[in-house]
Amino acid sequence: MVIAVSWMVGTLLSFTLMAIAVRELYGAIPPFEIQFFRSVTSLIILGPILAFKGWSALKTEQPKLQVTRNLIHFAAQLGWITGVIMLPLSEVFAIEFTTPAWAALIAAIFLGEKLNRGRIIAVILGLIGVFIILKPGMASINPGTFAVLAAAIGFAFVIVATKSLTKTDTPLTILLYMTLLQLPIGAILASIVWVTPNILQLFWLFICGAMGVSAHYCTARALKLADASIAAPMDFMRLPLIVLVGYVLYAESAEIAVLLGAIIIFVGNYYSIRFEQKNRKNELKS
């Protein structure tokens, strides 16, 4: 249990450092270039593994899904980066918590998975939480909010696609395709708005890319050692942590509506996880 919690702490720190890195690059390095360097960093990290495993690590049974997954993931990452630049960090992370609810809805539509009571409640509370955060009619909605919401839906599709890919492809293969497919896309788009980074900016670009890989790895290790019902509350700790970071580094204050909406979204996600676990236990007993 202690080891699983340690891996989740790694996840929290990774996401937080990635957000800080994007903020530090704001106004100096365009989002397309940030995406490009993130792929470069991933290739530096995964390259030695590919050299050791050989080209067989790139064998996939679902090439079309690999391409579709990574096009959507690339766009979702750009939406997330845009949100980090335009919004308070607490709002970005709060809206991002709706991803599991969108994933349940997408899986029901495209994979035919059943929308049971837990998933329906997660979707409903997720929508209520977003509605509270957006405060429609009370204030003008920042375009960055829509960017993050679109990113959350994009990440949800990526989760569903990854679930399908894991039936035939290894996690390493999925990560390698993510890097190798997104690298040329990022290179082409970055060349249009290219800004040569200085040493400090290169540092933050490396942090952004390395923390992206680290966040996925730490989460996977934590979920391997502990139930999602334990990992989910730990993941929610990203919000108070990013609120503290936003306050200390950028003089941001979290609105009550954002915190309330995030709590409602979390309750829906957590209820869904517990409901799924209870169903699995009942199936094993019968």
Burial class (CB in 10 A: 0-12, 13-18, 19+), 216: middle
* Token pair in block for residue 60: 């996939």
Contacts of 190 (CB under 8 A, 6+ apart): 30, 32, 33, 35, 36
**Helix/strand/coil percent split, the chain, to 5:** 85, 0, 15
Tell me which DSSP letter residue 197 carries.
-
Of residues 25, 47, 50, the one with CA closest to residue 35: 25
Report the alpha-carbon distance of residue 36 to residue 42 in Å, rounded: 10
198 three-class SS: coil
Of residues 183, 179, 212, the one with CA closest to residue 48: 179
Report the alpha-carbon distance of residue 63 to residue 79 in Å, rounded: 25
* Token pair in block for residue 242: 């990013």
The separation between CA 115 and the C-alpha centre of its own chain, rounded to angstroms, equals 23
Report the alpha-carbon distance of residue 195 to residue 5 in Å, rounded: 40
Report the alpha-carbon distance of residue 54 to residue 96 in Å, rounded: 36
Rounded to the nearest 10 degrees, how much is the dihedral formed by the CA atoms of 49, 50, 52, 57? 120
* Token pair in block for residue 138: 């009370």
What sign has the CA pseudo-torsion 21, 25, 31, 36?
A: negative
Written as one string, the DSSP assignment of 233-270 is HHHHTHHHHHHHHHHHHH-----HHHHHHHHHHHHHHH
Q: Using an 8 Å Cβ cutoff, are 211 and 22 in contact? A: no
H or E element, residue 221: helix 199-225
Report the alpha-carbon distance of residue 204 to residue 208 in Å, rounded: 6
How close are the terminal C-alpha atoms of the chain, in Å? 28
pTM of model > 0.75: yes
Q: What is the full per-residue pLDDT of the chain (286 aa) written as tens digits? A: 678 778 888 888 999 999 999 999 998 999 999 999 999 999 998 889 888 888 888 899 999 999 999 999 999 999 999 999 999 999 999 999 898 889 888 888 887 888 889 889 999 999 999 989 887 655 567 888 899 999 999 999 998 898 888 888 888 888 889 999 999 999 999 999 999 999 999 999 999 999 988 887 887 777 677 666 566 677 788 888 899 999 999 999 888 999 999 999 999 989 988 888 888 777 666 6
